[in-house]
Amino acid sequence: MPTSYELPSATIISASQATDVITVAVRLSRVDYLNRPIAPADLRETDPFRLIFPFHQLIGREGPVLVFETYSSAQPMPKVGSSYTFCAWLLPEAFNALLDHSAVWVLSDYPDDGDHEHCLFSSEAISAYSLNSRAYHSDHGWITVAAYNDYIVNDFLRIRRCPRSIELAAK
């Protein structure tokens, strides 16, 4: 009988704010989860699976203790001592696409071939018959117009400008 996958939990160790940057340190319940891009990520309540707080960049790491920065968040800072489900946003392929400044993203209509793709960043469906019938693609795959604007053009995570998360993920 297959076992279900469980996301790790994160306990808030510290939280502070300077201008539009919120810095939060957490202790992750499982270190095996660290074998993937760890940021961007977020904290969620388990039931319902509701967003509590986003993390944009990993800026520090010592074993299971991770330090994140979040930029211009609409969510209030999480309270020290509280615990939530921890969920990383991107698979390695998407993280690599985000960091690839040489990638050429071309806006085009998705082919009318009865197939579909999923956006590397948002997992939204892209097909000839979806709301995302026009999207960007490169050697990395397909992304929605909204994802292209958010992740590539505007770099709202600040990862393309200053990719600290990749250096710390390999520790």
Last residue of a domain, one of 61, 89, 117: 89
Residue 76 within any structural domain of the chain: yes
Q: Are residues 83 and 134 in the same domain?
A: no
Structure tokens at 129: 């018959």
Determine contact, residues 116/132, Cβ cutoff 8 Å.
Answer: no
Last residue of a domain, one of 89, 111, 134: 89
Q: Are residues 129 and 149 in the same domain?
A: yes
Residue 164 within any structural domain of the chain: no
Q: What is the pLDDT of residues 98-122, one digit of tens each?
A: 989 999 999 999 999 999 999 999 9
| pLDDT for res 163 | 63
Q: Are residues 68 and 34 in the same domain?
A: yes
Q: Are residues 58 and 102 in the same domain?
A: no
The domain tally of the chain equals 2
CATH number at residue 62: 2.40.30
Residue 171 within any structural domain of the chain: no
> Could you give the C-alpha distances from 101 to 16, 68, 136, 149, 159, in angstroms and in order?
32, 23, 15, 14, 11
pLDDT in tens, the chain (171 residues): 555 668 899 999 999 999 999 999 999 998 887 777 788 899 999 777 798 999 998 999 898 999 999 998 889 999 999 999 998 888 889 988 998 999 999 999 999 999 999 999 999 999 999 999 999 999 999 999 999 999 999 998 888 887 665 555 544
Residue 24 within any structural domain of the chain: yes
Q: Which domain holds residue 69?
A: 9-89
pTM confidence score: 0.77
CA–CA distance, 88 with 15 (Å, rounded to integer): 19
Last residue of a domain, one of 43, 62, 89: 89
CA–CA distance, 86 with 46 (Å, rounded to integer): 10
| Omega before residue 48 within 30° of 0, cis | yes
